[in-house]
Amino acid sequence: MSFQDLDDLNQTVHALDHALSVLSVDEAVNMPTGGGEARAEALATLAGIRHEHASDPKIRDLIEAARKEDLTEDQRTALEEFDRVYTNLVCLPVEFVRRKTETTTRTEQAWRAMRPANDWKDFEKELKKVVDLAREESQLRAAATGLSPYDALMDQFDPGNRAENVTPVFTHLKSFLKQFLPEALAAQAERLAKRPLRPVMGPFPKASQKALAEAVMPVVGFDFTHGRLDESHHPFCGGVPTDVRMTTRYTETEFLTSLLAVLHETGHALYEQGLERISAHWPHTQARGMGMHESQSLFVEMQIARSREFWEWARVYVDEHIGTHALEDLEVDDIMAIVNHIEPGYIRVDADEVTYPLHVILRYELESGLIGGNMQVSDIPELWDAKMKEYLGISTIDNPKDGPMQDVHWPAGLFGYFPSYTLGAMMAAQQWAAMEKANPGARQQIAKGDFSKINDWRRDNIWRQGSRFSTPEIMRRATGEELNADFFINHLKKRYL
Amino acid sequence: MSFQDLDDLNQTVHALDHALSVLSVDEAVNMPTGGGEARAEALATLAGIRHEHASDPKIRDLIEAARKEDLTEDQRTALEEFDRVYTNLVCLPVEFVRRKTETTTRTEQAWRAMRPANDWKDFEKELKKVVDLAREESQLRAAATGLSPYDALMDQFDPGNRAENVTPVFTHLKSFLKQFLPEALAAQAERLAKRPLRPVMGPFPKASQKALAEAVMPVVGFDFTHGRLDESHHPFCGGVPTDVRMTTRYTETEFLTSLLAVLHETGHALYEQGLERISAHWPHTQARGMGMHESQSLFVEMQIARSREFWEWARVYVDEHIGTHALEDLEVDDIMAIVNHIEPGYIRVDADEVTYPLHVILRYELESGLIGGNMQVSDIPELWDAKMKEYLGISTIDNPKDGPMQDVHWPAGLFGYFPSYTLGAMMAAQQWAAMEKANPGARQQIAKGDFSKINDWRRDNIWRQGSRFSTPEIMRRATGEELNADFFINHLKKRYL
């Protein structure tokens, strides 16, 4: 009976999550500006009702009582993941959550004004308050979960990821990349000296780009009976698993950036569409975490869509929907040179596949120091600059807006999130290798536009696993080993040397 | 403090209504088919949470306690309308609501199958169950409100409307229309003999029709910072007052039908956009009722958009967005002949302005008999046929699917709703007359595309009144007299003779 009560509760919370998710998509895609205030009030009230239900104190007793009931194995899995979610939800006192929301909202607003002004000094005072709160939160979460403070934060985004496992993998990857980056840049220069970049130049009308995206997406696996593609200012993948709302944006001068962004979001969408539909209102059937989600988007974007085989197949779609003029002077090698161009830079979100992990590892090193307490906010500019020089050979000391002020994460109170990006990239490479071992014809299949066997492997090994296991355990079951940076390293060597 | 508690409760219910409304719009406009099941579950769960909050038994005590508090006049108005809404919400036992939902859902499904099969006999058995429930409901509502059974039903859709007032007005209108219809048809035949109909023939691309609609709407008063126009299978006006979602549909052979449908929905939209924004979460600031809402859509559609002056102004918009070829051989008289063509027919929703009220009065007479108990479901076919012959000169006895089986209202359990359509038409004509008295240049303003003074009158007298008064009281305050069919009658005489 207690399990049934929890089932009803999950149904309620699930309906509210459905509403919150679709209303947020509508806000980004359809809502006229004047609707914003009433929408914000409605969302805040719904989020409050959701929290009230999901954090009801009687749930602890229901969980304990349900454990003693005669449950199926599936129900036991559901119950244990639900317990984890509940513990993580209620371990912060309401007073703390209110204080955090107030502070991070104010700091995020301050950041929006101070970043363009390159004003580190004032920003430092604001950020210090957020770091103090993040330390307090990490202690509260550590007490509730028995994890170390930084692990307790990371566990929010990818359950099971621990610094003791992540740090050596990042260290290995970092030392590889520091030596690899100059080699890869030299190899690129040599290729470009032989055959210069042939830029793709528009205008390419929006409608044609949308038609191209909507033609490619279903072949890659997107199910348009359970989702759609719209436009928004920032591309995202939202909605619910049975109705996935993807967005992109278009510039008419160029079509490759938008298409690759669509394919990145398609990777997220396939994960959501591929989740188990039975017990969809229980947390164990939801997508696992941020790192795992990023591995699914990067699997499509990096492993598939920036490969030679993909373009051997996809160029006829470009011919059909954009026009034969778009790529007519280009060989597949030329397309590879464009979509896999590398160049060290200041900004993480603009970084390529090779330099991106160094941006992330830098942030991981700093934020774990900040949370651990052996580093202070005032140390950030010099440490950031020293690491940028060491990893990428560029300095940000006079330009904090493109250095430690560039990301919204820290002012918004998100600590423990950054590692997910690079963990996702490594997991994607490792999953690709395991999939290719089971399906040695994968590259030839892509060249023919046949994604069915590749997606079958992903469905069985990732999507349908939902949140039944921790992130590392899903990886072990899917690939037969622990997270291993060498798969990603080999992928980079193959692509860039 | 009790008033504050009620304020919080209204905020919660309002947020849930916001979610339900926008999710329903999204379902009709954007949702892919595969999203339907999860959406239906989410909507049902949210509606349940809404009902739980809105019908909380402690509300009765809060209302009584708030009455004794020191309230502003506005707060007293809020409280009294809230009491009315609460009384109407909780007067049906949960057991009855469940029984009604089950029966009407089943009957509506049966109706969808039986109507195309023209199967009155089987339908009669199903409908009888719904009528029994409607009688039971009318008794329950009568007991809670002190109204007569049929009035208690009608009061759901237009608070304050009573059969003792509606019946004489309908009787007067009916006797006028029975004599007027042949005269109007003869006048029309005479006009067409002199100058035959000049049909407007496409193709008119969707994009041009949308551009025309979006050009005309803001001039008529629609605020695109608080709303948008989309496409759906059936046109509607939904969303929330700060974000009104209108829809239409287009056929490329013809553009007038869609434009007039857009203008009808624009009338609904202006009402919503024009409501008071302060205390928007309390019921006294909501739109009054179905009849009042219909008066706002028909004010725009019938009083404004089918007038000569409107077309003197609007045809340049057609020239610009659809092309000069669309209306090039047509005088304003020709456009009038098309948009105001009358022809008696079987189907209410296809009826013109002159015959529509007769369809409604027929249903009003039958359903008040059914609820009153002096008529049985088995009497419907013969009575329907007799009245159709008397009012419109056509018989439906052998064709129940286009007779008493044509509407979804009765199988869905909606009794007391039909009068709203024709009350709306009469109220619109009466409001027009009052507005024109205060603003004698109204027709010349329309001919110049200036709707500001007309809308100022409507904002002050209708929109901003919200639900502060009953429907008849709003009419009295706005027009200085009781509902009077003669305004509508004069309008018809002027337009059709």
Per-residue model confidence (pLDDT) at position B318: 97
Q: Do A193 and A122 fall within a single domain?
A: no
> Using the beta-carbon criterion (under 8 Å), do B46 and A19 form an inter-chain contact?
yes
Closest residue, chain B, to A19 (C-alpha):
B19
Which of A12, A45, A240 is opposite residue B11, by nearest beta carbon? A45
Specify whether the CB–CB gap between B492 and B485 falls below 8 A: no
Per-residue model confidence (pLDDT) at position A414: 96
Instruction: Check CB contact of B12 with chain A, cutoff 8 Å.
Output: yes
> Using the beta-carbon criterion (under 8 Å), do B243 and A34 form an inter-chain contact?
yes
Q: Do B294 and B392 fall within a single domain?
A: yes
**Quick one: pLDDT band at residue A76, thresholds 50, 70, 90?**
very high
For residue A246, what are the β-bridge partners? A229, A237
Show the 3-state SS of A416-444: CCCHHHHHHHHHHHHHHHHHHHHCCCHHH
- A22/chain B closest Cα distance in angstroms: 7
> Using the beta-carbon criterion (under 8 Å), do A26 and B26 form an inter-chain contact?
yes
Looking at the 3D structure of chain A, how many domains does it have? 2
Q: What is the pLDDT of residues A360-413, one digit of tens each?
A: 999 999 999 999 989 999 999 999 999 999 999 999 999 999 999 999 999 999
Per-residue model confidence (pLDDT) at position B69: 97
Q: Is it the case that residue B77 has pLDDT exceeding 90?
A: yes
Q: What is the pLDDT of residues A323-359, one digit of tens each?
A: 999 998 899 999 999 999 999 999 999 999 999 999 9
Kindly state the tokens that stand for A225: 């009976």
**Quick one: pLDDT band at residue B202, thresholds 50, 70, 90?**
confident
- Say whether B319 sits in a helix, a strand or coil: helix
Tell me the HSE value of B15 on the side-chain side, using a 13 A CA sphere: 22
Specify whether the CB–CB gap between A148 and A278 falls below 8 A: no
Instruction: Check CB contact of A278 with chain B, cutoff 8 Å.
Output: no
Closest residue, chain B, to A224 (C-alpha):
B32
Closest residue, chain B, to A41 (C-alpha):
B15
Q: Do A405 and A495 fall within a single domain?
A: yes
Q: What is the pLDDT of residues A220-233, one digit of tens each?
A: 999 999 999 999 99
Instruction: Check CB contact of A218 with chain B, cutoff 8 Å.
Output: no
Output DSSP code: residue B482.
Answer: S
- B28/chain A closest Cα distance in angstroms: 13
Mean pLDDT over residues A174-191, rounded?
98
Pick from A11, A22, A246 the residue to mutate for testing the B interface (most B CBs within 10 Å).
A22
> Percent of chain B beyond pLDDT 70?
100
Q: Do A448 and A301 fall within a single domain?
A: yes
> Using the beta-carbon criterion (under 8 Å), do B240 and A35 form an inter-chain contact?
yes
Specify whether the CB–CB gap between B237 and B208 falls below 8 A: no
Q: Is it the case that residue B201 has pLDDT exceeding 90?
A: no
Residue B30 carries which side chain, given as an amino acid letter? N
Q: What is the pLDDT of residues B426-437, one digit of tens each?
A: 999 999 999 999
Instruction: Check CB contact of B8 with chain A, cutoff 8 Å.
Output: no
Q: What is the pLDDT of residues A407-452, one digit of tens each?
A: 999 999 999 999 999 999 999 999 999 999 999 999 999 999 999 9
Q: What is the pLDDT of residues A280-322, one digit of tens each?
A: 999 999 999 999 999 999 999 999 999 999 999 999 999 999 9
- B201/chain A closest Cα distance in angstroms: 28
Q: Do B244 and B167 fall within a single domain?
A: yes
Per-residue model confidence (pLDDT) at position A148: 97
Q: Do B150 and B275 fall within a single domain?
A: no
Specify whether the CB–CB gap between B359 and B351 falls below 8 A: yes
Closest residue, chain A, to B230 (C-alpha):
A30
Q: The CATH number of the domain where B359 resides is what?
A: 1.10.1370.30
Instruction: Check CB contact of A26 with chain B, cutoff 8 Å.
Output: yes
Q: How far apart are CA B91 and CA B97, in angstroms?
A: 10
Q: Do A87 and A176 fall within a single domain?
A: no
Per-residue model confidence (pLDDT) at position A228: 98
Per-residue model confidence (pLDDT) at position B437: 98
**Chain mean pLDDT for chain A:** 96
Which of A11, A22, A39 is opposite residue B26, by nearest beta carbon? A22
Between chain A and chain B, the number of residue pairs with CB atoms below 8 A apart is 108
Q: What is the pLDDT of residues B466-477, one digit of tens each?
A: 999 999 999 999
Q: What is the pLDDT of residues A235-276, one digit of tens each?
A: 999 999 999 999 999 999 999 999 999 999 999 999 999 999
Q: How far apart are CA A461 and CA A410, in angstroms?
A: 33
Could you tell me whether strands B243-248 and B227-231 are parallel, antiparallel, or unpaired per DSSP bridges?
parallel
> Using the beta-carbon criterion (under 8 Å), do B34 and A280 form an inter-chain contact?
no
Q: Do B74 and B194 fall within a single domain?
A: no
Q: Is it the case that residue B70 has pLDDT exceeding 90?
A: yes
Kindly state the tokens that stand for A312: 């051997």
- B16/chain A closest Cα distance in angstroms: 7
Instruction: Beginning with the edge strand found earlier in the chain, give each strand of the sheet holding A227-231 in spatial order.
Output: A227-231, A243-248, A237-240
Specify whether the CB–CB gap between B416 and B446 falls below 8 A: no
Of residues A124, A126, A137, A265, which has the active-site annotation?
A265
**Quick one: pLDDT band at residue A106, thresholds 50, 70, 90?**
very high
Among B115, B137, B156, which residue terminates a domain? B156
Closest to B76 measured CA to CA, from B61, B91, B63, B89: B63
Among B130, B156, B182, which residue terminates a domain? B156
B276 sits in the region (left: phi over 0; alpha: psi -120 to 50; else beta) called: beta
Q: What is the pLDDT of residues B157-169, one digit of tens each?
A: 999 999 999 999 9
Instruction: Check CB contact of B198 with chain A, cutoff 8 Å.
Output: no
Residues of A in contact with B31 (CB under 8 A): 243
Residues of B in contact with A23 (CB under 8 A): 19, 22-23
* Inter-axis angle of helices B120-145 and B73-90, nearest 10: 140
Instruction: Check CB contact of A206 with chain B, cutoff 8 Å.
Output: no
CA distances (Å), B156 to each of A436, B4, B150, B151, B280, in order?
A: 65, 27, 10, 9, 20
Q: Do A129 and A232 fall within a single domain?
A: no
> Percent of chain A beyond pLDDT 90?
98
Q: How far apart are CA B302 and CA A77, in angstroms?
A: 62
Q: Do B189 and B286 fall within a single domain?
A: yes
CA distances (Å), B374 to each of B258, B380, B411, in order?
A: 42, 12, 20
Q: Is it the case that residue A1 has pLDDT exceeding 90?
A: no
Q: Is it the case that residue B1 has pLDDT exceeding 90?
A: no
Q: Do A258 and A402 fall within a single domain?
A: yes
Number of alpha helices (DSSP H) and beta strands (DSSP E) in chain B: 20, 3
Closest residue, chain B, to A281 (C-alpha):
B38
Q: Does the active-site annotation cover B265?
A: yes
Closest residue, chain A, to B40 (C-alpha):
A15
Mean pLDDT over residues B103-108, rounded?
92
> Using the beta-carbon criterion (under 8 Å), do A34 and B280 form an inter-chain contact?
no
Altogether, the residues listed in chain A come to a count of: 497
Among B107, B124, B156, which residue terminates a domain? B156
For residue B381, say if its preceding peptide bond is cis, omega within 30 degrees of 0: no
Q: How many CB atoms lie within 10 A of CB B316?
A: 12
**Quick one: pLDDT band at residue B368, thresholds 50, 70, 90?**
very high
ipTM of the complex as predicted:
0.92
**Chain mean pLDDT for chain B:** 96
- Say whether B227 sits in a helix, a strand or coil: strand
Domain, as residue range, for B397: 157-497
**Quick one: pLDDT band at residue A202, thresholds 50, 70, 90?**
confident
Per-residue model confidence (pLDDT) at position B212: 98
Of residues B81, B126, B137, B265, which has the active-site annotation?
B265
- B303/chain A closest Cα distance in angstroms: 29
Q: Do A152 and A166 fall within a single domain?
A: no
Per-residue model confidence (pLDDT) at position A201: 86
Q: How far apart are CA B46 and CA B52, in angstroms?
A: 10
> Using the beta-carbon criterion (under 8 Å), do B41 and A226 form an inter-chain contact?
no
Task: Write the DSSP string, B19-83.
Answer: HHHHHHHHHHHT--GGGHHHHHHHHHHHHHHHHHHHT-THHHHHHHHHHTS---HHHHHHHHHHH
